[in-house]
Amino acid sequence: MTADVDTDLTRREALASLALGGAAFLGACSTAAPVAAEPPRPHAAPGAPTVTTTPAFAAKHAPVPLPFPPGSLNGLSEKLISSHHENNYGGAVKNLNKVEQELAQVTKDTPPFIVAALRERELTFRNSKTLHEAYFANLGGNGQRSGAIEGAIATTYGTSAKWEEHMRTTGMGLGGGSGWASLSLELDTGALRTFWSGNHTQVLATSVPLLVLDMYEHSYHMDFGAAVARYIDAFFTNVQWDEVNARFERAQRMSALYRGA
Ligand SMILES: [Fe+2]
């Protein structure tokens, strides 16, 4: 079974504390006070789009509630969805706050290997938060593809069914391990592509995820054991394609801006 994300920080802390002889890093972990989050500061010239900034290391991330009742999906149990949302996703959010508290304590004297470990965990938990929120939000539908994304997929892959075959086999390739399969839009080309990621951090730099499929074992093992294909069947049965279409529409506009079109 793949390690749960909410255990990872503890493992890192243990490794780091061993490297430091114990006291310093663990002391920092246990005593670091939450950084008070300043309110967002708008920086907007008259008539310009509003841009907001938030303080670095505010450690105020909060879980987004499920967009559907956890027992309402077809073939994915309430126990599985609730555990996934509360423990795996919730654990990532909690650990993101913890690691931001630790990063707030970094000074020029902090050993670089400690900073490197914290930065790696920051990226892992931050991307885990984003991808899990995208995953839960693209569930809760009836699985019937429709709208602009349906035509775009068919044009890109020959047929819509052929794309689904690619998405399914990409997910199957991650079975028994960890990672994500995603249908994404490349900002620099405007093209739809299906991507593989072996963990939370291997996302294509210029891509916007439109449909994400969690292939960490924690997303299916409780209901399906090692029967990965049955989980992928259930996933497709519950896709909320209206959400995917909304993301596609926004991503196309983002890509046009990115390319200066
Ligand atoms: Fe997950």
180-186 and 207-214 as β-strands: parallel, antiparallel, unpaired? antiparallel
> Which DSSP string corresponds to 126-155?
HHHHHHHHHHHHTBSS-----HHHHHHHHH
Residues with Cβ within 8 Å of residue 48, at least 6 apart in sequence: none
CA 87–ligand 1 middle distance (angstroms):
9
CA 115–ligand 1 middle distance (angstroms):
26
CB 180 within 8 Å of CB 214: yes
| pLDDT at res. 8 | 43
Q: Report the alpha-carbon distance of residue 89 to residue 138 in Å, rounded.
A: 15
Query: Angle at the Cα of 200 (from 2 to 8), degrees rounded to 5?
Result: 50
CA 242–ligand 1 middle distance (angstroms):
22
CA 18–ligand 1 middle distance (angstroms):
29
| pLDDT at res. 261 | 81
Residues with Cβ within 8 Å of residue 135, at least 6 apart in sequence: 212, 213, 214, 219
CA 215–ligand 1 middle distance (angstroms):
7
CA 182–ligand 1 middle distance (angstroms):
13
Residues found in the chain? 261
Distances (CA, A) of 36 to 6, 59, 237: 23, 8, 43
> Which DSSP string corresponds to the chain?
-PPPHHHHHHHHHHHHHHHHTSHHHHHHHHHPPPPPPPPPEE---TTSPP-EE--TT-----PPPPSS-TT-SSSS-HHHHHHIIIIIIHHHHHHHHHHHHHHTT--TTS-HHHHHHHHHHHHHHHHHHHHHHHHHHTBSS-----HHHHHHHHHHHSSHHHHHHHHHHHHHTTTTS--EEEEEEETTT--EEEEEESSTT---TTEEEEEEEE-SGGGTHHHHTT-HHHHHHHHHHTB-HHHHHHHHHHHHHHHHHHTT-
| pLDDT at res. 48 | 58
CA 237–ligand 1 middle distance (angstroms):
18
Q: Per-residue pLDDT for the chain (261 aa), expressed as one digit of tens each?
A: 344 444 444 444 333 333 333 333 223 333 333 333 434 444 445 555 667 788 899 999 999 999 999 999 999 999 999 999 999 999 999 999 999 999 999 999 999 999 999 999 999 999 999 999 999 999 999 999 999 999 999 999 999 999 999 999 999 999 999 999 999 999 999 999 999 999 999 989 999 999 999 999 999 999 999 999 999 999 999 999 999 999 999 999 999 999 998
Q: Report the alpha-carbon distance of residue 6 to residue 228 in Å, rounded.
A: 23
Q: Report the alpha-carbon distance of residue 64 to residue 234 in Å, rounded.
A: 23
Closest listed residue to residue 13, CA positions, set 109, 87, 121, 110: 121
CA 121–ligand 1 middle distance (angstroms):
16
CA 168–ligand 1 middle distance (angstroms):
17
pTM attached to this predicted model: 0.82
State the first-to-last Cα distance of the chain, in angstroms, to the nearest integer: 46
CA 218–ligand 1 middle distance (angstroms):
6
CA 132–ligand 1 middle distance (angstroms):
6
CA 216–ligand 1 middle distance (angstroms):
6
